[in-house]
Chains A and B, each alone.
Chain A
């Protein structure tokens, strides 16, 4: 009995005291698919990312969770109205989520000068309809990775700078060493199949040829216009006519296998591999360069990445806003860049001398001519239609014009709905 009373008194005491001192601690929840716990395993995620914030803001605690299968979990939680305060969002989804009321505008916490410090294509991904809806976590540009050893063996000294060179160099690098009729080494690898990564890389080919997918005002599809059709025809030719690209799986000895297994000499990929592929330099002497434009002297790059957004239904917006501010801070930008590559803010990137340090310098140069994928609330349909067109034209033997006409039809259908 005595113990019970003292327990109750103790609890009441603590309650009164804590409310007296206003030690009301708000917990801000953050979800990302990114594996911070592995990337920052040396000092630990908390030490590296969150402690500096919590020290400045004793009333706010950050609770971060890594989500294993983002697509499914995020959508289920969102549909049921059970999202965390802050979550990562793929830049392509910002218009879709913003128009559907999922995202809280962040202009309150991020002044325009800071916004303008972000790389322009990344900022494009972070905004919609004039408002800022996300702040950068990481961003990536396209690069052409090439194997200098294989180049040397074929007597090639420089990587291609135009589509014509891409083909001629690619052909020299596609070889059947032992004469058994099977090609042992391919010149080039591009992603093929049905996923967003394919869309990210291949859409840049359309831009490289000065074509586009939807009109700049977002009212109609232009993916079936001549320049775009030419680009897709070129992609199909790479695989079927010049045969310098293996069909998906033909040579992929695993997701990283084709290039790392030294079965292809060149590969279109993102800047995100610059860090993780350092360890392969011992066995595969790779270098990076710009992705060639259709015509010599031109180039364009795709840009894409994940960003932090705030849930419009969050109960802790003020506290979360403080965290958003922190996520735009030089410290965070630098820390994330150490792991994911390009520093999102131009001033920080300059400070880190990324534009003068190889290989980051190549990525930075690509960022400067970079553009994001089509910005539209109906992007899910746009990307599905385009992926289908790529798949049908390149692997399905359907003429590019026909495949792209079908994609244009589907896209126009949803664009009309708006």
Chain B
């Protein structure tokens, strides 16, 4: 009895020791900006203007009751997330499964699919503006060759968000790599055992592959949600929120309020509302995880 609690104590002590680098960094670099932004959200802080004062929940109330664009940008963001995250993981998973073999040249294919994640920056975003051109952009030209009249993409309010979702699918290379790494960790013996029991490829996937990589899929799901809700740069560079606010994503609107209209206090309130939303969604996902995520280390 005593020996167990001593072991448990020792484990706890070492646990804290190992996470101490993060804890220290958190206390030094992270906590001050977080508290500062929370404080600012309750003020009327404007960039460059002296005389910031406490205004309580006014920012929050204005956002929730008077700001049409708050709700619109939230809708745009949820729309984007709901499509891009599952599709992204799905496509990445298919690619990872296809490329998880010792085929000749598989490394080259992996590199090709990963390539989009490697280039970032304005050059590429502007390239996509050209690709999406309804009449002369490559996408519609190719669609035309197989007899489809392509839509207006980023110049059409109805198609602008799908255009961004399509663009995000192009960038699944990173997710694919993580899933590949996860697939590496599935022991060969399990597949062999399954085959001998007469399993076909779907059963193998469902009963061996999926459970074994579920921790990694879970990671991609959480990070996907966190990332998609903060989608900003591409819209900032490519459309500025238009046409007709159809690509005004939440963080883009936040940026506009804080940096362009200088209402930093208001923008901080927006940030904290977003934080609460993402946090709630994440906690829900963690609770649901016990139903489908399998951790070898903890047994099931």
Provide the residues of chain B in CB contact with A100, threshold 8 Å: 48-50
Whole-angstrom distance between the alpha carbons of A96 and B262 in the complex?
Answer: 10
A-B contact pairs, 20 of them (CB 8 A): A71-B260, A75-B259, A79-B264, A97-B48, A100-B48, A100-B49, A100-B50, A193-B242, A248-B243, A249-B129, A249-B134, A249-B152, A249-B154, A249-B155, A250-B133, A252-B133, A257-B130, A391-B243, A395-B242, A395-B244
Query: A384, B260: Cβ atoms under 8 Å?
Result: yes
5 interchain residue pairs of minimum CB distance: A249-B155, A194-B240, A396-B244, A100-B48, A194-B242
Quick one: CB contact mask for B128-160 with A, threshold 8 Å, 1 for yes? 011011111100000000000000111101000
Q: Among residues 35 to 90 in chain B, which have CB atoms less than 8 Å away from a CB atom of chain A?
A: 47-50
With A100-B48, A255-B126, A263-B136 known as contacts, the answer to whether A381 contacts B259 (CB < 8 A) is no
Whole-angstrom distance between the alpha carbons of A71 and B233 in the complex?
Answer: 13
Provide the residues of chain A in CB contact with B135, threshold 8 Å: 182-183, 250-251
Q: Which residues of B contact A (CB under 8 A)?
A: 47-50, 126, 129-130, 132-137, 152-155, 157, 239-245, 256, 259-262, 264
Q: Among residues 372 to 408 in chain A, which have CB atoms less than 8 Å away from a CB atom of chain B?
A: 380-381, 384, 388, 391-392, 395-396
Provide the residues of chain A in CB contact with B157, threshold 8 Å: 395-396
Provide the residues of chain B in CB contact with A253, threshold 8 Å: 130, 133, 136-137
Query: B155, A248: Cβ atoms under 8 Å?
Result: yes
Interface core residue of B49, B136, B259, B262 (most chain A CB under 10 Å): B136
Provide the residues of chain A in CB contact with B136, threshold 8 Å: 251, 253, 261, 263
Whole-angstrom distance between the alpha carbons of A193 and B245 in the complex?
Answer: 10
Provide the residues of chain A in CB contact with B137, threshold 8 Å: 253
Provide the residues of chain B in CB contact with A381, threshold 8 Å: 261
Q: Which residues of A contact B (CB under 8 A)?
A: 71-72, 75, 78-79, 96-97, 100-102, 182-183, 192-195, 247-255, 257, 261, 263, 380-381, 384, 388, 391-392, 395-396
Whole-angstrom distance between the alpha carbons of A249 and B152 in the complex?
Answer: 8
Whole-angstrom distance between the alpha carbons of A192 and B245 in the complex?
Answer: 13
Query: B261, A249: Cβ atoms under 8 Å?
Result: no
Whole-angstrom distance between the alpha carbons of A79 and B40 in the complex?
Answer: 13
Query: A247, B152: Cβ atoms under 8 Å?
Result: yes
Provide the residues of chain B in CB contact with A78, threshold 8 Å: 47-48
Provide the residues of chain A in CB contact with B154, threshold 8 Å: 249
Provide the residues of chain A in CB contact with B48, threshold 8 Å: 78-79, 96-97, 100-102
Query: A252, B129: Cβ atoms under 8 Å?
Result: yes
Whole-angstrom distance between the alpha carbons of A182 and B260 in the complex?
Answer: 38
Provide the residues of chain B in CB contact with A193, threshold 8 Å: 239-240, 242-243
Whole-angstrom distance between the alpha carbons of A101 and B47 in the complex?
Answer: 11
Whole-angstrom distance between the alpha carbons of A193 and B243 in the complex?
Answer: 6
Provide the residues of chain B in CB contact with A252, threshold 8 Å: 129-130, 133
Provide the residues of chain A in CB contact with B259, threshold 8 Å: 71-72, 75
